[in-house]
Structure formats: structure tokens, C-alpha cells
């Protein structure tokens, strides 16, 4: 069986609230996490909510990294979806655990686009 992509759903607990309520720093950390895994960044969008919380997306050639934070609970939900074989989403996930100073992280990986035949990353049309 072959999968087109890997999607990691990660939850970060016990993060200092100031780490989760700074959109400029979160954007920098998310972009660095993508680059750390070898991804190519295409675009970014981040938004700070009032009174607190940040949501953002780093679009990469291989798919995306997305985040939603709840500083009041020290919690962040992060999705890292990568296509192909060259970018490991767990590299980004572990990088963010360190950057957010998370006391605990849980994560699970879902294979996306599962087929019974071997597939090239981007088949010719």
C-alpha cells in the first residue's frame, strides 16, 4: 500500500501562555518548523484573536502546517500534513514542542490517499 501523504495531529499541553499568544513569534516558529523538516514555504497567514489566541497556516509545497492556540489553557492544536517522501512531519512536530516549551505532547499520524499500487508523488496528467 502506498500513501500520498502523512498527516500528524498534535496537541501541546502545559505551554506558557505568552508562547501561545504572540502571532509574530508563532509565525516564526511555524516557518522554522517547516524548514527544519525540509519543506518549501509558499505562503503564510496568521491572526491574533481578542482577547487571546492565535490561528495560522504555513502553506508548503508539500501541503501545510496549521495551528490554533488557547493561551488561557496552555494548549495548542497543530496539524502537519506532508505529501511525498522527503518531508517528515514529526521533525516539525518535535521542533514545535521544544519552541512552545510544552510539558506534554500527544500526536497521531494518519496516512492520507492510500492506494493499493505504488504511486509517484505527483503523477503526470
47 is catalytic: no
Residue 116's Cβ-count burial label (10 Å; 0-12, 13-18, 19+) is: exposed
- Of these residues, 7, 15, 64, 83, which one is catalytic? 83
Phi-psi region of 63 (alpha: psi -120 to 50; beta: other; left: phi over 0): left
93 is catalytic: no
3-state class (DSSP) for residue 91: helix
Helix (H, G, I), strand (E, B) or coil at 118: coil
Among residues 15, 63, 64, 93, which one is catalytic?
63
63 carries an active-site annotation: yes
Catalytic residue numbers, as ranges? 63, 68, 83
Amino acid at each position: 500500500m502506498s500513501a500520498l501523504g502523512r498527516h500528524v495531529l498534535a496537541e501541546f499541553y502545559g505551554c506558557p501562555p505568552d508562547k501561545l499568544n504572540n502571532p509574530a513569534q508563532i509565525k516564526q516558529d511555524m516557518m522554522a518548523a517547516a524548514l527544519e523538516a525540509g519543506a518549501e514555504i509558499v505562503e503564510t497567514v496568521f491572526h491574533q484573536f481578542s482577547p487571546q489566541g492565535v490561528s495560522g497556516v504555513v502553506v508548503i509545497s508539500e501541503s501545510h502546517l496549521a495551528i490554533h492556540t488557547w493561551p488561557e489553557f496552555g494548549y495548542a492544536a497543530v496539524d502537519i500534513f506532508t505529501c511525498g517522501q522527503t518531508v517528515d512531519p514529526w521533525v516539525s512536530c518535535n521542533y514545535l514542542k521544544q519552541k512552545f516549551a510544552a510539558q506534554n505532547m500527544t500526536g497521531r499520524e494518519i496516512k492520507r490517499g492510500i492506494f493499493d499500487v505504488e504511486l509517484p508523488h505527483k503523477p503526470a496528467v
